[in-house]
Amino acid sequence: MPRKLLCTPHEHAVSRRQFFGAAGASALGLSGLATPAIAEKLRKERRQVLFIWLDGGMSQLESWDPKPNTPFGGPLRAIPTSVPGIHISETLEHSAKVMKHLAIVRSVSTQDNSHSAGVDRIQRGDPKNRGVVYPFFGSAVSKLVGTNDSGLPPYISVKPMSGGFIYKDAGFLGPKYGALALGDGKPPENLLRPPELNAEADEERNELRKLLDANYSERRRKEYTEANTHAFEMAAQLQKKIELFDPSKLPQKDKDRYGSHDLGRHLLLARRLLEEGVTFVKVTSYGWDSHGDHFNQTLSQHPKFDKPFAAMIEDLNDRGMLDNVLVIACAEFGRTPRINGHIGRDHWPEAWSVCMAGRGIKRGVVAGKTNDKGTEVASDPVDVGGLFHTWYRALGINPDEVEFRNGGQPLPIAHEDMKPVSEVLA
């Protein structure tokens, strides 16, 4: 039985004029609009997210919550930032300069200490168990916010290695809210029509595919054929924006500022996707699980986050986009205060940090704290449900008023027993 996947109507309280304006903008691109004022208004009303996922777990002690010269503080120093009184690790020297735009929550305390459970539960908001699989934050936002005016898929994931359509992110929303993953930041293979195939033949093929899909869907779950159709539509959308993936179009200065490594290149692509209006861009970096030789790893790896992250914050701010784009740097947990025998840090969900910036977020603040040794949260702990409340509110979505509907089942968009971190909300 087809399921209705609805959210509360007022979340889509857009006037008919605005809708058609947005549709027009989508079709033409913002630059094609007759009135720049409308284009600017649409741009200003965008709600977007940049979600940076540091897979494996970044150490809070070598990033946002350093404890120098303490038993578990490690070898590194803390440095002052652009906000008097706030210090972060010396591994984040560029982020220190843009601290005036950032908000750090140092009192994150979550439930999972394994990657297999933590990765999903964090990104699904760890809601109460209702017998359904909740969507990842990217799928949820693409459902609740929509496609903006980009004419591009609402949820794009930029990640190392292979790409494809990741339907599992969507949970009960249905596969079409999954992520389009750009493996190594490249467009899907065979995206462009082969030169030997002319436009008419291509159109005929697509019509045939649609017919076969329709026949197939009569005997299968509708959402899977919808997802298949959606994937083709996304490919068609990307075909129109193929220049996004051409690094030769980028100024060398930007390439230098973001770096030539995976994370730098992928964040620079993310900036371009956000500029185009993509609703949710997730950038994943792997290899943060530093159980051994942790401090040398930190010294090698953190700067490769720090420099392009700070460049991103600067660029979004300079373009006026930081008022629209919610930026989140997060992982499945932090790392243990105790240094193990391999000079590594293990998994530590008990007390860690998340950094955010942009839309709906106060600038230059720290919320919550850990104790002197960094072993426990010393203020109200914030579970991921609280983070989801915070992020939704930052996007102008009130979890007390908006809910998902899975068939007839109303489902809260964030854990109903938790509350936002009000200290970081603008």
Partner 1 sequence: MQPKTAPAANTPKEIGKPFNPGVQIARIRYSPDGNTLCAAAFDSSVKRWDASTNEPAELPPITGHNGWVSDIAATHSTFFSVDSWGRLTATDIAAKEPKTLWTVEAAHNGWARAIAVSADGSQLATCGKDGFIRLWNPKDGKKLGELDIKYDLLSIAFSPKGTSVLAGDLFGLVRECDISAGKVLRTYEAKELHHIDRVQDVGGVKCLMLSTDGKILFAAGGEPKTGGFVQATPLLIAFDRESGKRLGQFKGTKDSEGYVTDMAWHPEGFVIGSTSGQPGQGKFFFWKPGAADASFLGGKLPNCHSVALHPSGTKVAVSATNANSSGNGRVKGTGGDYPANSSPIQVWSVPQSPAG
Distance CA 329, CA 104 (A): 10
Distance from C-alpha of 29 to C-alpha of 389, rounded to nearest angstrom? 32
Tell me which residue has tokens 């399921």.
3
Q: Which span sits near partner 1 by CB under 8 A: 31-39, 179-187, 219-227, 284-292?
A: 284-292
Q: Using CB under 8 A, pick the residue from 335, 359, 389, 415 that binds partner 1.
A: 335
Task: Work out whether 371 is an interface residue with partner 1 (CB under 8 A).
Answer: no
Rule CB under 8 A: say whether 347 interacts with partner 1: yes
CB nearer partner 1, residue 33 or residue 299 = 299
CB of 362 to partner 1, least distance (A): 30
Please report how close the Cβ of residue 298 comes to partner 1 at its closest, in angstroms: 9
Minimum separation from the CB atom of position 94 to partner 1 (A): 15
In the region spanning residues 179 to 218, those forming contacts with partner 1, defined by CB under 8 A, are none
Residues 15-54 vs partner 1: string with x where CB under 8 A? ----------------------------------------
* Rounded Cα distance, 148 and 137, in Å: 17
Q: Does 148 bind partner 1 (CB under 8 A)?
A: no
DSSP string for residues in 217-269: HHTS-HHHHHHHHHHHHHHHHHHTTGGGG-GGGS-HHHHHHH-SSHHHHHHHH
Q: Of 132-140, 250-258, 346-354, 359-367, which part binds partner 1 (CB under 8 A)? A: 346-354
User: What per-residue string of b and e applies to 53-77 under the rule 16 or more CB within 10 Å gives b?
Assistant: bbbbbbbbbbbbbbbeeeeebbebe
Convert residues 293-332 into a mask of x (bound to partner 1 by CB under 8 A) and - (unbound): x--xx-xxx--x----------------------------
User: Does residue 72 touch partner 1 according to CB under 8 A?
Assistant: yes
Question: Cβ 47 to partner 1, closest distance in Å?
Answer: 30
- Identify the helix (H) or strand (E) that includes residue 329: strand 325-330
In terms of phi and psi (left: phi > 0; alpha: psi -120 to 50; beta: otherwise), the region of 397 is beta
Q: Which is nearer to partner 1, 371 or 398 (CB)?
A: 371
For partner 1, the binding residue among 111, 113, 229, 409 (CB under 8 A) is: 113
Q: How many residues does the chain have?
A: 426
CB of 403 to partner 1, least distance (A): 36
100 is a contact residue toward partner 1 (CB under 8 A): no
Q: Closest by alpha carbon to 175, among 142, 151, 150, 128?
A: 142
Among 49, 258, 31, smallest CA distance to 146 is for: 49
Q: Are 411 and 130 in contact (CB under 8 A)?
A: yes
Smallest distance from the beta carbon of 71 to partner 1, in angstroms?
Answer: 5
